[in-house]
């Protein structure tokens, strides 16, 4: 095995329901599957066309019509392996196919960073967090970092960092011990295997997956993002001494080989602007038209705004038209 390894351990894409036809491009005939209510709390329905792969909606679809709102395609770590073993699409091609669709969003992305060289020591990391020697850019204060260990002969040790309900969360655990517990033969496992997982959700996961796809899932981009989230440092001598990165953290994150890369802010799109108008503008405009008794204010404002459109604005419009054209070419 290589010294460092990055993989997707969970992947979830959300689509507009009028984009239902993309499932056929994935080789999934969702309407032919048995749809089951997941639980009584969220009232969500799902089917499992492949082991570890789920299609989820808020309303039960049938052959006569599509579900309302949005639908999601959910891949667990095993699901990613099961799906791409039989799919004609590679992982990068699949992500590109999803992200080119209008209105698509990555709602969850789990990045797994595997350590086979014994760089990561869970006990040491836990003590450093307790002593505030862990400096990170995601959790600004030590009080926001919650860690706990689970010591079991079968499970091994697990360190949790951050809040599971937030847009990002980290866990470090003994993957070798977990695999043994799940029945994997010991002789097939590496002598040391610690996994550092980042669980990303919402806008964070969407921004990161777009960066990774843009770089063809380059591991340097993934490690750069990890370093932008959390770093482990050692205290120097003296009150004002510089706190350098721990050597073991430098080696694990390949710092000598790559630069830190933070996820780019989502690009301006017509979809994002339309969503902002729907959420923040329509109500105000409705109040103004009711107060004025007409929509002259809105009409005049739009005409004046048209004269202020720049080439950058036109580029955003053209990019929207290109995405629509690609969507039509791939079928809906």
291-312 core/surface letters (b: 16 or more CB in 10 A; e: else): eeeeeeeeeeeeeeeeeeeeee
* CA 197 – CA 195 distance, rounded (Å): 6
pLDDT at 323: 72
Q: Are 177 and 156 in contact (CB under 8 A)?
A: yes
Q: Which residues contact 17 (CB under 8 A, 6 or more apart)?
A: 57, 66, 67, 68, 69, 70, 71
* 281: number of Cβ within 10 Å: 11
**What HEC string does 144-198 produce?**
HCCCCCCCECCCECEEEECCCCCCEEEEEEEHHHHHHHCCCCHHHCCCCCEEEEE
pLDDT at 248: 92
220-250 core/surface letters (b: 16 or more CB in 10 A; e: else): ebbbbbbbebbbbbeeeeeeeeeeebbebbb
pLDDT at 1: 31
pLDDT at 332: 47
pLDDT by 10s per residue, the chain, length 332: 334 488 899 999 998 887 888 888 888 888 888 888 776 666 778 888 888 898 988 877 765 566 777 889 999 888 888 888 888 888 888 898 888 887 889 999 999 999 999 999 988 888 887 776 666 655 543 333 334 444 444 457 788 887 777 888 888 888 888 888 878 888 888 999 999 999 999 888 999 999 899 888 888 888 988 888 888 887 766 666 677 888 999 899 876 444 443 444 445 677 767 766 776 778 888 888 888 888 888 888 888 888 888 888 888 888 888 877 776 665 54
* CA 140 – CA 91 distance, rounded (Å): 34
pLDDT at 324: 74
Q: Where are the beta strands (DSSP E) in the chain?
A: 4-16, 36-37, 45-50, 53-57, 70-76, 105-115, 134-136, 158-161, 168-174, 194-201, 230-234, 244-245
pLDDT at 108: 93
The model's pTM is 0.70
Q: Exposed, middle or buried, 283 (CB in 10 Å: 0-12/13-18/19+)?
A: exposed
* CA 157 – CA 150 distance, rounded (Å): 5
């Amino acid at each position: 095995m290589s010294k460092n390894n990055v993989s997707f351990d969970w992947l979830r894409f959300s689509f507009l329901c009028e984009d239902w036809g993309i499932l056929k491009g994935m080789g999934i005939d969702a309407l032919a599957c048995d749809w089951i209510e997941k639980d009584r709390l969220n009232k969500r329905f799902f089917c499992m066309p492949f082991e570890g792969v789920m299609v989820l909606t808020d309303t039960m679809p049938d052959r006569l019509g599509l579900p309302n709102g949005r639908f999601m395609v959910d891949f667990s770590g095993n699901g990613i392996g099961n799906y791409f073993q039989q799919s004609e699409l590679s992982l990068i091609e699949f992500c590109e196919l999803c992200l080119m669709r209008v209105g698509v969003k990555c709602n969850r992305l789990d990045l797994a960073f595997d350590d086979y060289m014994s760089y990561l020591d869970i006990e040491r990391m836990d003590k450093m967090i307790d002593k505030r020697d862990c400096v990170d850019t995601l959790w600004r204060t030590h009080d926001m970092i919650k860690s706990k260990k689970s010591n079991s002969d079968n499970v091994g040790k697990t360190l949790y960092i951050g809040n599971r309900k937030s847009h990002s969360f980290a866990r470090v655990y003994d993957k070798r011990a977990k695999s043994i517990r799940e029945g994997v033969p010991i002789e097939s496992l590496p002598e040391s295997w610690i996994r550092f997982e980042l669980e990303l959700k919402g806008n964070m996961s969407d921004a990161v997956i777009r960066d990774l796809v843009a770089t063809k899932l380059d591991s340097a981009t993934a490690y750069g993002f990890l370093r932008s989230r959390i770093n482990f440092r050692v205290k120097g001598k003296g009150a004002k001494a510089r706190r350098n990165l721990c050597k073991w953290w430098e080696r694990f994150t390949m710092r000598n080989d790559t630069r830190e890369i933070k996820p780019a802010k989502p690009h301006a799109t017509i979809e994002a602007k339309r969503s902002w108008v729907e959420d923040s503008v329509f109500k105000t405009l409705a109040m103004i038209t009711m107060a004025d008794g007409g929509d002259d204010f809105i009409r005049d404002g739009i005409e004046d705004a048209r004269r202020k459109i720049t080439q950058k604005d036109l580029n955003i419009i053209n990019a929207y038209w290109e995405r629509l054209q690609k969507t039509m070419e791939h079928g809906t």
